[in-house]
Amino acid sequence: MIPTFATKSTNTSITCFRDICGKKTTRSRNVSKTRLIFRRMSPGGLRLLCLTFVALFFSDHYVSATPPSIILIVTDDHGYGDLGSFGSEDLRTPNLDALVNSGAKLTHWYANSSVCAPSRASFMSGKYPHNAGVPDLLAPRSPGVSLNLVTLAEALKTSGYRTGAVGKWHMGAADKYLPNQRGFDAFFGHLEGTLDYFSHMYYLPRAKRPFHDLWRNNKEVWEEGSYTTDLFTREAKAFIRNNYDQPFFLYVAFNAPHYPLHVPRAYLERFSHLDPHRQRIAATLAVVDEGVGKITNQLEELGIRDDTVIFFMGDNGGSNEPRNFMSGETDQFFTGSSNGGLKGFKGSLFEGGIRVPACISWPGVIEANTVINEMGVGMDLYPTFLKLAGVELSNHELDGFDVMPMIKDGAESPHDFVCWEYVGQFAIRRGKWKLVLNGKLDFWRKAPEVYLSDLDIDPYETNNLANKHPEVVEELKGKLNAWFESVSSN
């Protein structure tokens, strides 16, 4: 039961994935052979083919005859306001902004949690964090996403996709929970939630001792001195080069701008005019932005950009944690991240902790400069990607929904409501109403126990309407209570 509250209140990388993902081939789709087939077809056969295509087009016109490749790019602790296309005037993110502008900007896209592991578990399982088996952060080398579930990678692999993961995993680091055991043909990255960007060591005190955490598949690899964002970009490009002749799913999980905010000095110098806190975020995201540009350029060079869906999102809101500091600053909170004026930070179930920058781009299918103001959430990626791949959703028991009708056709959000729970905080959004119970502004500062907002007129949750609309509070508490009872057993 939820608590009861009173209403008061470089070329060397070319072979990186080759051993696992096969020999590099050409994805020309053999145009000359295709033309020959059409020449040899009878008029009746050609007519039947055209009618079949038309029927498929109008029955579900965002599902292509040849399934598209899918790239999911996720950033870590990325504030809602930390992109030029989402309102930042002091950061430089031209490649991410171009990606946003090339498709649909999702202004009301949410993470399923205000911290990373549960958020990632949701989009990899299509379920709420509790139903995925990861309601909270994961201890080092612990289990993760329930082994009873089919992961997104497993589902797409069964459907003929090559699957690759690059970057931060943080969905289980015990045996049987590793990326290669959860559906990924190839993996390069780190298993835990954070690491040193240059030495690739894990230092957090929750571990008994520091340890090295960089892996290629199930083998530890050493590239000390190399910046992780550059490594992950290199590996993402290599996977694309070696698999572009067939549909692939590539999960690119940058560990930036998560603490520790290590960044090459050259990038810091670009932003020497900014406050030292803000400078760190700006520089860290500049490297990520360049990486995204290199990935999209790789697709263009191979001639497969129009055949590739790219979805980008942050895993939770921007962080104000003191451990973002790189030296002995005495400030109580880190102020470098911007959530665009939204209330709260990472760790909070107010908007600043869970609403994230997001977009989807598919040239020729999703119109450029589209803006979607309907609600979507991370667990929706699983059914959406499966539908794009031509997979029958009725074979999967999911909490998320296919959001392509919302994105492509202007339909309303498929969600009547969405709920959250994190370490005793509870939240529900239904339409314009957002209720937070036992909320916090971050990991430490408490908010009023009952907080109701009308997001249509108050997107920043500045006015608590709980006393003014007690009937709305009771209705939402009832739905929240029923939801929590349904997931808490997991």
Q: 197-213 burial, b if ≥16 CB within 10 A, otherwise e?
A: bbbbebeeeeeeeeebb
Mean pLDDT calculated for residue range 84-113 = 98
436-469: pLDDT as tens digits: 999 999 999 999 999 999 999 999 999 999 999 9
Q: What is the pLDDT of residue 330?
A: 63
pLDDT tops 70 at residue 33: no
Mean pLDDT calculated for residue range 315-337 = 83
Inside any domain, residue 9: no
User: Domain boundary residue among 382, 408, 434?
Assistant: 408
Return the higher-pLDDT residue of 272 and 29. 272
Mean pLDDT calculated for residue range 127-151 = 96
Inside any domain, residue 185: yes
**Between the CA atoms of 284, 290, 296 and 297, what dihedral angle is there, to the nearest 10 degrees?**
-170
In this prediction, residue 50 has a pLDDT band, given cuts at 50, 70 and 90, of: very low
224-246: pLDDT as tens digits: 999 999 999 999 999 999 999 99
Q: Count how many residues are written for the chain.
A: 490
358 phi and psi angles, rounded to 5 deg: -155, 155
Question: Which tokens in the block code for residue 163?
Answer: 């699957």
Q: What is the pLDDT of residue 64?
A: 59
Comparing CA positions, the residue from 332, 354, 351 lying closest to residue 343 is 351
In this prediction, residue 338 has a pLDDT band, given cuts at 50, 70 and 90, of: very high
Nearest-angstrom CA–CA distance, 296 and 94? 12
- Residue 431 sits in the same domain as residue 382: no
- Residue 361 sits in the same domain as residue 461: no
- Residue 173 sits in the same domain as residue 209: yes
In this prediction, residue 327 has a pLDDT band, given cuts at 50, 70 and 90, of: low
Count CB neighbours of 100 within 10 A. Answer: 26
Q: What is the pLDDT of residue 329?
A: 63
In this prediction, residue 280 has a pLDDT band, given cuts at 50, 70 and 90, of: very high
- Residue 393 sits in the same domain as residue 422: no
CATH classification at residue 111: 3.40.720.10
Question: Structural domain tally of the chain?
Answer: 2
In this prediction, residue 63 has a pLDDT band, given cuts at 50, 70 and 90, of: low
Inside any domain, residue 22: no
Count CB neighbours of 327 within 10 A. Answer: 5
Q: What is the pLDDT of residue 447?
A: 97
Inside any domain, residue 49: no
Share of the chain above pLDDT 90, in %: 80
In this prediction, residue 43 has a pLDDT band, given cuts at 50, 70 and 90, of: very low
Inside any domain, residue 386: yes
Q: What is the pLDDT of residue 6?
A: 42
Cα–Cα distance list, 425 to 7, 25, 327, 436 (Å): 16, 51, 32, 7
- Residue 296 sits in the same domain as residue 445: no
- Residue 338 sits in the same domain as residue 466: no
- Residue 370 sits in the same domain as residue 483: no
- Residue 302 sits in the same domain as residue 379: yes
Inside any domain, residue 29: no
User: Domain boundary residue among 341, 373, 408?
Assistant: 408
Kindly report the pTM of this predicted structure.
Answer: 0.88
Cα–Cα distance list, 458 to 74, 205, 234, 463, 465 (Å): 28, 40, 42, 7, 10
pLDDT tops 90 at residue 258: yes
In this prediction, residue 208 has a pLDDT band, given cuts at 50, 70 and 90, of: confident
In this prediction, residue 46 has a pLDDT band, given cuts at 50, 70 and 90, of: very low
Nearest-angstrom CA–CA distance, 319 and 20? 36
426-441: pLDDT as tens digits: 999 999 999 999 999 9
Q: What is the pLDDT of residue 209?
A: 84
pLDDT tops 50 at residue 54: no
Return the higher-pLDDT residue of 117 and 203. 117
* Domain encompassing residue 431: 418-488
